[in-house]
Amino acid sequence: MSDTPQIGFVERLVRNDRVIVIIAVITIVALAGIYTITGVGMNMSAFDMTAMSKPIGAPMQMGKGANWTATYATLIALMWWVMMIAMMTPSAAPTLLLFTALKHHRKDKQNAVYYSGLLLAGYLIIWAVFSIIATSLQWGLETLDLISAAMMTVSSRLLAGFILLSAGLYQFSELKSACLKHCRSPAYFLSKNNRSGAFGALMMGMHHGVYCLGCCWALMALLFVGGIMNLYWIVGLALYVLAEKTVPFGGLFSRATGVILIFTGTYVTFSSLS
């Protein structure tokens, strides 16, 4: 008799689309986090780089980094993408779960989990594009000797100050506000951009990813300042992005952060000139 309730519970669990999606998201984030922390393919792990981090614009000098070959560029792009998966997937979870719930209560509910997977895939495709751009920027800055190749951190306080200042100013832009509005309201986004079918789910995910990229690209650029594999900055930015999209008065929260970044960027910029 004790076996029957247990089987019933398992069956109910398997049939619960939201639980399946939550478990999948947690698994994806955990695996991406492990990959990022261990620094697969890198000379040092994220733990090592975090422990050896120095003040902004003054990274530890460790000699020349790896040569930029096609293999190395692919590895760096993969590192960026996996890191973005770990950092950005949690903030997309509210939209993903609401989408799953809506699909479950419609005629295509048998495909709810499948469509949710496509939505997430579309979202992550956009961050893959960002990762390619970030890799290209990293290569360019290394070529100009503006990034410590070994520590993957901006080696110029002037450039670090410019990035901080630019990220702060972007917090006040209309584009930031418009994108943040969509990211903060999953119901609004899904109602305005509803599409049917598998391809529709994929396109909705990409559409949401574009809004999220528009909201967060400047914040992600701060990784160049703090260290691309600095765990304090990675975790801090991930938590901030999640908070910006979920806490009450998100717009005010975003602008307050902008003020802090502007003051910090101004200080770092002028201190580099003295």
Query: DSSP string spanning 2-55?
Result: -HHHHHHHHHHHHH-HHHHHHHHHHHHHHHHHHHHHHTTTSSS-HHHHHHT--S
Two tokens, residue 2:
């004790």
Q: What is the mean pLDDT of the segment spanning 10-22?
A: 61
Q: Are 120 and 89 in contact (CB under 8 A)?
A: yes
- Name residue, tokens 């290569």: 139
**Predicted local confidence at residue 244, as pLDDT:** 93
Two tokens, residue 128:
């893959």
**Predicted local confidence at residue 273, as pLDDT:** 81
Two tokens, residue 246:
């979920």
**Predicted local confidence at residue 5, as pLDDT:** 47
Q: What is the mean pLDDT of the segment spanning 56-73?
A: 73
Band of residue 112 on the pLDDT scale cut at 50, 70, 90: confident
Q: Are 46 and 93 in contact (CB under 8 A)?
A: no
pLDDT > 80? residue 45: no
pLDDT > 50? residue 2: no
Band of residue 62 on the pLDDT scale cut at 50, 70, 90: low
Nearest CA-CA partner of 268 in 138, 152, 167, 170: 167
DSSP 60: P
Q: How far apart are CA 213 and CA 225, in angstroms?
A: 19
Nearest CA-CA partner of 229 in 155, 152, 167, 159: 152
Q: How far apart are CA 152 and CA 139, in angstroms?
A: 10
Q: How far apart are CA 230 and CA 13, in angstroms?
A: 38
**Predicted local confidence at residue 60, as pLDDT:** 56
pLDDT tens by residue, 158-201: 999 999 999 999 999 999 999 999 899 999 999 898 888 899 99
Percent of the chain exceeding pLDDT 70 equals 86
pLDDT > 70? residue 109: no
> Vertex 183, ends 93 and 74: CA angle to 5°?
70
| 217 or 63, which is more confident | 217
Q: How far apart are CA 188 and CA 28, in angstroms?
A: 26
Band of residue 55 on the pLDDT scale cut at 50, 70, 90: low
Q: Are strands 153-154 and 147-148 parallel, antiparallel or unpaired?
A: antiparallel
Q: Are 118 and 202 in contact (CB under 8 A)?
A: yes
| Residue 157, φ and ψ in degrees, nearest 5 | -65, -30
Band of residue 47 on the pLDDT scale cut at 50, 70, 90: confident
| 134 or 226, which is more confident | 134
Whole-model pTM: value is 0.86
DSSP 227: -
Q: Are 121 and 200 in contact (CB under 8 A)?
A: no
**What is the residue-averaged pLDDT of the chain?**
85
Q: How far apart are CA 51 and CA 202, in angstroms?
A: 40
Q: What is the mean pLDDT of the segment spanning 212-226?
A: 94
Burial label, 2 (beta-carbon count in 10 A; 0-12, 13-18, 19+): exposed
Band of residue 11 on the pLDDT scale cut at 50, 70, 90: very low
**Predicted local confidence at residue 61, as pLDDT:** 62
The beta-strand segments (E) located in the chain are 147-148, 153-154
Q: How far apart are CA 221 and CA 223, in angstroms?
A: 5
